[in-house]
């Protein structure tokens, strides 16, 4: 038997389902945020930011030394010390040249490090493009000519200045100062004087207001760290993500959502048609058949009129039966009332090929899952009857955790190919909209196994 392979389908990837928070801001909206791992992840991200910023500042100081000297000279001019203009211009030109030459080269590995570090509190983001040609010169040419490198360079400058200063301030103000204030009674109890700005505390009882302030700062630390980490992550994502890839990803998400909306609209329209056929055309045909039957009873026995009415009556009954089959195929009432466990055996009974059904579903599934699974089962059995040449089919449906697994296995000739238009591509596309996938194994000579996996969380 050949290995199962994904049935190819057009369109966007399956839509993402709701899950745990992926950013600190999303985590803050949950009630269990203080008890989750997000405060520690945020604090770890901020602490590593300070470490990275310190190392980068040490590396950049030699490059920016002329600019630092220029700043010192300007300060000295403010207090009356004169400096030649050519000296100031030389410092400015030299500093900018060194910074613009070596800064982007430092920014590229820093950006890669920051994207890796960003995974601690944010979904991964993609980086810049790869050089088309091999070699160091091609790499340098690509880096200096792409916008991603200069955005990374801007991020590097912000990291060693604003971001590092803000991060250090938050860490110093909340956890460090908070812990210090909380320990003031112990310090005063050991006979040491607690000095806070212009106030001095010798008595442990006098430090109780400091303990309260420290407790407030420590309790606020997770929230301050999460907000700061989220702001830093937003800046990193803005400057370090590949715009083209991010825009394409957003477009794919929108395409997926639009496909889901189309399927919902299709289901709504399909049920409206079913209701109109059942309550409108079908009832009218039944009424017409009854009137024809009454007219046949009044016709003279053995007359041409009786024979004509009898023929019309039979045709009307056949039309009613066909219409009932159409209505049943659109959305069977048993599926809505009793669920997939009852609908699949009924579907198997109507198949022209003998079907053995095994259903193991301990609970009702979400409506969109049941509708999709029934559609897949109906199409699969229809394909078997039309194309497989099979004498028997096995239809199995069971839950594997939070995934519905639906399998049809026939003893036909095999060789099913999605590219030959047997409806398999449409099945895969339909299943993909609800986040599932279709797997096919159909070697020449059979058997053919079609496996469908549909996620069905209880909260769906």
| Listed residue (413, 405, 392, 409) closest to 449, CA to CA | 409
- How is domain 337-455 classified at the architecture level of CATH? 2-Layer Sandwich (3.30)
| Listed residue (378, 387, 386, 431) closest to 408, CA to CA | 378
Stronger pLDDT, 17 or 319, i.e. the higher one: 319
- For the segment 239-253, the average pLDDT, to the nearest whole number, is 59
Strand partners, 357: 395
Residue 384 DSSP label: I
In the chain, what is the greatest distance between 2 CA atoms, to the nearest angstrom? 130
Of the pLDDT bands very low, low, confident and very high (cuts 50, 70, 90), residue 281 is low
Pairing of strands 437-441, 448-455: antiparallel
The pLDDT tens digits for 37-78 are 899 999 999 999 999 988 888 888 777 777 677 667 666 666
Q: Is the dihedral of CA 110, 116, 119, 121 positive or negative?
A: negative
Give dist(CA 313, CA 442) in Å, integer. Answer: 46
Give dist(CA 233, CA 221) in Å, integer. Answer: 18
The pLDDT tens digits for 178-226 are 888 888 888 777 767 666 665 767 777 777 888 888 899 999 999 999 9
| Threshold 0.75, pTM exceeds | no
User: Which residues are CB-neighbours of 8 under 8 A, at least 6 positions away?
Assistant: 418, 419, 425, 428
- Contact call for residues 448 and 442 (beta carbons, < 8 A): yes
- For the segment 370-399, the average pLDDT, to the nearest whole number, is 84
- N-term to C-term CA, the chain: 35
Q: For the chain, give me the number of helices (H) and strands (E)? A: 16, 8
| 276 pLDDT more than 70 | no
Give dist(CA 454, CA 25) in Å, integer. Answer: 30
User: Which H or E run includes 453?
Assistant: strand 448-455
User: Which residues are CB-neighbours of 92 under 8 A, at least 6 positions away?
Assistant: 66, 67, 70
Which range among 58-67, 76-85, 109-118, 382-391 shows the weakest confidence by mean pLDDT?
76-85
Q: What is the mean pLDDT of the chain?
A: 77
Strand partners, 403: 400, 455
Domain segments of the chain as ranges: 37-241, 254-330, 337-455
Both tokens of residue 380? 């699969």
């Amino acid at each position: 038997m050949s290995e199962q392979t994904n049935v190819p389908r057009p369109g966007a990837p399956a839509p993402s389902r709701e899950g745990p928070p992926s950013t600190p801001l999303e985590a803050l909206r949950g009630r269990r945020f203080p008890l989750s791992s997000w405060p520690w992840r945020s604090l770890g991200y901020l602490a590593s930011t300070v470490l990275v910023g310190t190392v980068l500042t040490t590396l950049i100081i030699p490059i920016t030394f002329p600019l630092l000297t220029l700043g010192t000279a300007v300060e000295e001019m403010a207090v009356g010390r004169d400096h030649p203009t050519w000296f100031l211009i030389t410092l400015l030109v030299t500093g900018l040249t060194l910074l613009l030459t070596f800064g982007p080269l430092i920014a590229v590995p820093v950006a890669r490090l920051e994207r890796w570090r960003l995974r601690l509190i944010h979904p991964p983001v993609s980086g810049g493009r790869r050089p088309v040609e091999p070699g160091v010169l091609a790499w340098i040419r690509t880096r200096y000519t792409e916008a991603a490198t200069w955005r990374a360079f801007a991020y590097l400058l912000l990291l060693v200045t604003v971001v590092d200063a803000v991060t250090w301030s938050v860490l110093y103000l909340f956890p460090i100062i908070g812990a210090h204030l909380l320990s003031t009674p112990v310090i005063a109890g050991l006979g040491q004087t607690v000095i806070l700005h212009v106030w001095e505390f010798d008595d442990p009882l006098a430090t109780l207001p400091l303990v309260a302030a420290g407790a407030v700062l420590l309790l606020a630390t997770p929230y301050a760290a999460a907000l700061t980490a989220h702001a830093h992550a937003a800046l990193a994502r803005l400057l370090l993500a590949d715009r083209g890839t991010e825009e394409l990803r957003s477009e794919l998400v929108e395409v997926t959502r639009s496909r889901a909306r189309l399927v919902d609209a299709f289901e709504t329209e399909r049920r409206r048609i079913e209701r109109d056929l059942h309550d409108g055309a079908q009832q009218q045909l039944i009424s017409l058949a009854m009137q024809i039957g009454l007219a046949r009873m009044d016709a003279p026995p053995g007359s041409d009129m009786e024979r004509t009415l009898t023929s019309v009556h039979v045709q009307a009954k056949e039309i009613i039966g066909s219409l009932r089959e159409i209505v049943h195929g659109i959305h069977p009432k048993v599926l809505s009332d009793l669920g997939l466990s009852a609908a699949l055996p009924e579907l198997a009974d109507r198949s022209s090929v003998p079907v053995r059904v095994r259903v193991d579903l301990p609970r009702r599934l979400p409506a969109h899952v049941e509708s999709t699974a029934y559609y897949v089962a109906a199409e699969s059995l229809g394909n078997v009857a039309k194309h497989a040449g099979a004498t028997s089919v096995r239809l199995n449906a069971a839950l594997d955790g939070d995934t519905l697994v639906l399998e049809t296995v026939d003893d036909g000739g095999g060789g099913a190919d999605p590219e030959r238009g047997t409806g398999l591509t449409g099945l895969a596309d339909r299943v993909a909209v609800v986040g599932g996938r279709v797997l096919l194994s159909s070697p020449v000579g059979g058997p053919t196994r079609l496996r469908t996996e549909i996620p069905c969380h209880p909260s769906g």
